[in-house]
Structure 1
Amino acid sequence: MPGLSQELSHFVVTPPHLICREGEPDTMQCHFMFTPEFSGFDGHFPDNPLLPGIVQIMLARYTAAVGKSARLCRVKRCKFLHAIKPGETVSVSVKPGRSTGEYQATIASNDVACSAMVFELEHTEVWQ
């Protein structure tokens, strides 16, 4: 899926934002809605389109980076629990993990948990 990272920005309903609650780690949240025309649904699967797992991982990375450049280093754990269909609003919630660069993400659709993951990012400098 060439250009998928750039294509994601077209499906953002609310951009990444930081939620701070006293006594809890800061949480980044972002919401997306994917129309049936989204290229990620092509071939996944005919007559039963589902949002691919790799796209869900990219949504978590996009949200964790909060508009900055970051490279996905490793997915430590990932569990897919429920299918995401075209037209559903996808909520991504990411909070810092146990170590620097580690994040925990939960992705839900229609208030149903769809995936949970732990991953590592390397924040990179953007060259102008």
Structure 2
Amino acid sequence: MFLDNLYKIKNFDVTPETILAAISLDPDHTIFEGHFPNSPVLPGVVQLQIVKELLEKHLGRNVKMKSMRTSKFIQVINPKETPDVYIDIKFKNAEFLEVVASGSWEGVTFFKAQVSYI
């Protein structure tokens, strides 16, 4: 949905239960025209969609959110000021795919989420 459009993957390191991706946001993407004009912000729902897309890329299958235990959006991401970010995903296959994800840049965390997928 957003991969290769809103963002590109610069680095994708995986182990059986982790993903660490460096991504580069396109600050000229049309999503930033309305969110918010002259003060662009990466919407929280889009941050969660990026986590989903990175999971799907690694797993080679589609996933669907079952529930969200927590999500905190701690810092605003302005793509003109911070186009490159890191997404860290830890997951465990149990009854559901249990995920703990966070996003950061230069040691500053901008979101954290705990999500279950089916």
> Hey, what does 1:96 align to over in structure 2?
91
The TM-score normalised by the length of structure 1 is 0.74
Please provide the CA RMSD for this pair.
Answer: 2.1
Identity %: 21
> Hey, what does 1:106 align to over in structure 2?
102
Whether 1:50 and 2:45 are equivalent positions in the alignment is no
Q: Distance in 2 between matches of 1:53 and 1:38?
A: 16
> Hey, what does 1:38 align to over in structure 2?
29
Out of 44, 55, 69, the position equivalent to 1:76 is: 69
CA drift at 1:44: 0.9
CA drift at 1:32: 1.6
Q: Extract unaligned runs of 5+ from structure 1.
A: 21-25, 123-128
Whether 1:9 and 2:4 are equivalent positions in the alignment is yes
- The 1:75–1:9 alpha-carbon spacing in structure 2 relative to 1, beyond 3 Å, is farther
SS in 1 for 2:104: strand
> Hey, what does 1:28 align to over in structure 2?
19
Q: Extract unaligned runs of 5+ from structure 2.
A: none
- The 1:37–1:81 alpha-carbon spacing in structure 2 relative to 1, beyond 3 Å, is same
- The 1:68–1:29 alpha-carbon spacing in structure 2 relative to 1, beyond 3 Å, is farther
When you count strand as a share of all residues, which structure comes out higher?
2
- The 1:17–1:70 alpha-carbon spacing in structure 2 relative to 1, beyond 3 Å, is farther
Q: Number of aligned residue pairs: give it.
A: 112
Letter in 2 for 1:42: E
